[in-house]
Each structure stands twice: as structure tokens, then as C-alpha cells.
Chain A
């Protein structure tokens, strides 16, 4: 049921204090606007960073060979470490917790790739089948490199979407022959990768084929493994175990961090997410303080209004108003002003986020306001409105009618 009288009281009071009400309402609107805008932008930051990580499997270790920095068992420091197939086999056999594993053989320089009359240069890499998961490549058509390709040294190629578009245009690419640096390969698959255009300028061929054709022997330039569902802690353990295993296999000091460098993407991700958490916390803090400032403003205004209305409240009490009804009267006005102002702030905040929702840059992407945020913002509003009205309302209820009526 709508209580006409209550609303009438509220509107009359607001009309009698237009400017003051408008100014404080602005404070609350601004506070909520800030909260929503900051939260939305924070979400944009998070989306951007999560997007950056979409390139690769988050739970992955990227292992690069380097140069020893300590002498070990009579061997001098400054020795180059080079991976080969034995390292791949060793890791694969020794660590059942590894989900996928792949080596990488970079065909040196970028090769001229020819199809019919088109010559272009793309980079070509020899990989294992596990490379697909670790690189987060998604097949658009055809298939990825398979174990049987490795066994048979097949001359097959999986090409990035951009390679396909550039070489083939609208033409069908699967099953076609392309010439990579003088060797003919059959295209068996096309992939896309959310890591960006550069990732889709790559051509993948079986690692064994690459080693053979480009006289690489058993050499591998890089190793990478993914940990499936392993947690951060387990990934860190895996990282150090792999380091030790490689140290044994390659004869370097297990404490030599430069001989083999392992980049733990899970750790990196965790750190950035931790930073995001801190940013989010800060966002809330700033937002809450903005709202608090607005609420203190309203509280202040309501105190002044109560003071202004002292005589009126005294009269109301003399004709039988209960303290409760006086408290209600003040609280409702406060909650009403806070809600309307806050709602406007909320809409403006959502409007801003909506307007910015198309933005995409390296660390910022698609700012969003989700339902949770809106609900929290509304809750904050109602609670703060109540708090803002509480002190003035209690003050009003305490008014002594005799004194109040005497006053002017």
C-alpha cells in the first residue's frame, strides 16, 4: 500500500530545502558513480589480462636452454646447453603428472613459402602433438600434427589462419601442396590462436621431419610442458624437479639457474591475479570512501533540516506524534534522497561502462558491470541511507516539545 501522506511529507520537506538536498544528493550520486565506474574498469583490467593469458595454457612451464654460470664436475662455466630428443623422452617418461609435453625446433630464419605463384615468408616450427594444448591452438579445419606423422617423418603442415588467408585467399587449403624453403608439404590443418595475429603467421610441421630436413640431428630448441589440473604449489614442485632432472642429464650444477631457464606461467598468472585482487580491493576502498563522504553529507543536511524543523517536530509531538513516527519521518526522507541519488549515480556509472565496453587494448578490455556489483551497490545505498538518517532521526525524536514550541 502506498502511504500518500508519507510521500507528501517527504516531498514537502525536499521542496523546502531544494538546493541543499540537490547538493547532497549529488554527493551520493557521485559516490555510487565512482564505485560502479571503478569496479567496471577494474573488471576491464582483469578481462584484459586474462585475455593476454589466453594465448597459452595457463598451467604451463616454458623451458629454455641457456649458458652455465658455474663450473661443475670439472666442466667450465660458460658452456652452452642444448636440448635434444633425450631430454624430451626423459621428462615425458619420468613425470606422469605432466599433462602434455612438446619440444620445439625452430627452422632457422623465416622461410619463403610458396603456393602456386605466391611467395611469402612465414616462420616454421617443428613440434610434438602436445604443442597444440600448450599453445592453446584451436583447429578451424583439418587436424593437428599427430604421433604417426612423427613416426613416419611425414611432410605435412598445419598452418595458421593468416597463412591460409594470405596464401590461399578464398581457395580451399586442405590437401594442397606448399613449398617451404624448397621442400614440399601437404596442408592437413588450419588453426587459430587467441594470442594474436603473429601466432597465426606460424606453420607447424612434425618435429622429426624438421630435424631431418633441416639437418638438426636430434636437437630441440625449446621444451614446454603443461600441468593439466595441477595447482600452483604442484607446478612449482614440478618446475624444480624438472630443473634437477635436466641438470643431471645435461651435467650442470642443479643450483645453476642460468643453464636452463624455466618460465612458470602459472606463477606469473597467480602473481598478476594477486595484483588484480589488490587493485580490486583498492577500488572498493576508494568507492566506499566516496560513498561515505556522500552519506556524511546527507547526514549533515538531515541534521540541519531537523534543526530547521525543531518547532514543527515539537508541535507534532504535542499533538500526539510518537518518537517512532518522528524517527520514521526523518529516516524515510534520508533513505529516499539516498536511493534516488544513488540510483542516478548507478545508472550513470553503468552508462559509462556501457559506453566504454567496446574498448580493447593490451591490458584493458571490455569493462563490465555485473549483477553482483549492482546488487552490492544497491545494498550499500540502502544501508548508507539508513545510517545517514539514523543520527538526525534520533536527534529529532529527542526534541523536547516545550522547548521546541517556545523556539523560533
Chain B
């Protein structure tokens, strides 16, 4: 499902360049449940952003579901993000002025799904994460765990093949973290590949495979 071949990535700052990823090779099969660990600054988020086609890499090759992700137009990038990928962030990143239901439905808007169908599907996915009763609430009326579940529903609604989550439980207590992880587990059972960046061993223990990054190199996988 995901293949990284000798990926390099540097950040250009004003005076110097920071080599963050120094030759990453990974092969992730469809339906895998993977956690990515490593100390702060080791390049986990950078790698996840590249996988999510939110950022570009300098060298190497990245294949997503058989497509080479390189030199794509912005429109193609948007298309792959919309159809193959679901993103979950540590800080939830829901739109504050939209209700839970509207937030969940948003990816389908960009797929030009009709309004009624979008609403129905949004409710269905909110139900999956146990928040059907919260459909008409705004993010600031919900707890962190609830917001993250809305965000997960939003990432799932476009029926992606891969879910990418950057420290999804980083802002949650251990009880809610477990709820969120259980949802990911359920999602994975449906055959969706899940990648989670985390610092916590309890989280990585729930996944099938742990990739450790250290200074931009894969230490173990």
C-alpha cells in the first residue's frame, strides 16, 4: 500500500539547511496497523506529512496504492488526499464554525457528493464513533476525546485506504486515548491501513508493527 524508497528531506532555513529524513525505506502492506515512534525532532511528523502528500520530499520515491507520488499537480494531490487518505491531527483541527455533522461531511463536499447523501453519511460515521447525539454540536461544546472522534469520522467518511494520525492521543488522557485507539482498531479491522505517530508505549503496543525513527533514519521496523 505504501512504499518509501530512499526518501530524503531537508528543510531550508535562512542560513542553513536541516537534513531531516536521511534515506527512509519502508514497505507497508494493505491492512497494516503501524505505529511510528522516535524522539522529538527525529522526523516523524515530516515523514507523515510526506505520506499525506501535504509536503514534498527531495529525493527517493513514494508509491501510494501503486501511484508514484512525485511532481503531481496541486489538483492531483488534492484528489489523492481526498480519495486515498484520511488525516487525524493531535489538535483535532475541526472547523470551529461548523457543527460535528458539517465537519464530518466536509470531505464529501470536495468529492462533489450531493448534499443529502453527505448528511446521511455524516450521521452514519458519527454513529460509528458513538457521537450520533452530538451531530449538531459545535467543536467548542465537546470534550477533546469527542472532538478527536469527530475528526476520525471526518477522516473515514471519504472511504480512504490509509489513515494517517499524528499523535492523535497526544492531547487526551489515558482513558479517552484508549477509546480513540479502540476506534482505530475497529477501523483497521475493516481493512483500512492505519499509521499512528506516537510517543506512548501503551499506544504502540496496540498496533501490529512499530517503526522507530532516530535522527531521520529507521532504527527498527
Contacts and interface: CB of A to CB of B under 8 A. Distances in A.
Contact of B106 (A16, A316, A402, A405): A316
Given A323-B75, A401-B54, A5 B95 contact: no
A126 to B, nearest CB: 86
A317 to B, nearest CB: 7
Among A315, A319, A323, A325, the most chain B Cβ lie within 10 Å of the Cβ of A319
A322 interface: yes
B177 interface: no
A402 B89 contact: no
B35 interface: no
B95 to A, nearest CB: 6
Interface in B35-79: 49, 52, 54-55, 74-75, 78-79
A201 B81 CA distance: 88
Contacts of B97: 12, 16
Contacts of B78: 317, 320-323
B111 to A, nearest CB: 7
Contacts of B82: 319-320
A318 interface: yes
Contacts of A311: 93
B109 A5 contact: yes
Interface string B109-143: 11100010000000000000000000000000000
Interface string A294-327: 0000000000000000011001111111111100
A320 B107 contact: yes
B214 interface: no
A312 B97 CA distance: 10
A321 to B, nearest CB: 5
A322 B75 contact: yes
Question: How many A residues touch the partner, as a band?
Answer: 20 to 34
A109 B44 CA distance: 109
B207 interface: no
Instruction: Label chain A's interface by main secondary structure.
Output: helix
B89 A405 contact: yes
A4 interface: yes
Interface string A64-76: 0000000000000
A322 B72 CA distance: 13
Contacts of B95: 312, 315
Interface string B151-188: 00011001000000000000000000000000000000
A325 B107 CA distance: 12
Nearest to B97: A12
A320 B79 contact: yes
A5 B81 contact: no
B33 interface: no
B83 interface: yes
B149 to A, nearest CB: 16
Contacts of B115: 4-5
B93 A315 contact: yes
A323 B54 contact: no
A16 B81 CA distance: 28
10 contacts: A312-B95, A318-B54, A318-B81, A318-B87, A319-B106, A320-B111, A324-B75, A325-B110, A402-B55, A405-B89
Given A319-B107, A323-B78, 4 more contacts: A12-B97, A312-B95, A320-B83, A320-B107
Interface of B: 49, 52, 54-55, 74-75, 78-79, 81-83, 87, 89, 93, 95, 97, 106-107, 109-111, 115, 154-155, 158
